[in-house]
Structure 1
Amino acid sequence: MSSKKVPLGGRPTAKKPAQDDPSVDAWVGSRKPEAPQEKMKRLTIDIPAELHAQLKADCAMRGKKMADEVRELLIKKYGKS
């Protein structure tokens, strides 16, 4: 076993906490409050694997979420209440 000693250095310096950073306060203050969204309910359905694959591929090509696409189809069929 070697008797070589490796210095570990000093203690790290304390960084200023993020909450004391004025740029954080400016960013938070500049944000616009979001409008309250309509309350959502979860719906679970079973669909054939082929239909799921088609929906998933189509949504990926258009950069949309599958849930948004299904929601739009339901709104077209049943309207917005």
Structure 2
Amino acid sequence: MNKKVSIGAKPTSKPAIADAWVSDRVVDGAPEPVKRLTIDIPESLHRAIKSQTAGRGTKMADEIRDLLLQKYGKQ
């Protein structure tokens, strides 16, 4: 069974819409522009955070943001 799938040409530049979304997005309740933070954590910690936040009906990002604000909030 041979199935041919044609794949279009690779884009040569980033779409302007994606760039605008990253630079202009607004987080609910954020009083200022936001920056993205990427960290690596153990899978077991991710699973624990995910299951507990899901059980409370909250988003992981919201709870982690709250923890960071408690520790490093405006001084």
Q: TM-score range by the shorter chain?
A: 0.5 to 0.7
Runs (4 or more) in structure 1 with deviation over 6 Å come to none
Identity of matched residues, %: 57
Structure 2 unaligned regions, length at least 5 = 1-28
Task: Quickly say closer, same or farther: Cα 1:40–1:61, change in 2 above 3 A.
Answer: same
Structure 1 vs Structure 2 CA RMSD: 2.0
Over alpha carbons, which structure has the higher Rg? 1
Partners of 2:71 and 2:30 lie apart in 1 by: 25
With normalisation by structure 1, the TM-score equals 0.52
Aligned mate of 1:42, from 36, 45, 53: 36
Provide the rounded CA distance (Å) in 1 between the counterparts of 2:33 and 2:39: 20
Give the alignment's TM-score, normalised by structure 2: 0.56
Query: 5+ residue gaps in structure 1?
Result: 1-34
Q: Report the Cα offset of residue 38 of structure 1.
A: 1.9
Amino acid at match of 2:73: G
Cα distance in 1, alignment partners of residues 66 and 49 from structure 2: 13
Q: What amino acid maps onto 1:67 in structure 2?
A: A
**Take 2:74 and 2:35, find their aligned partners in 1: how far apart are those partners?**
14
Distance 2:61 2:49 in 1: 10
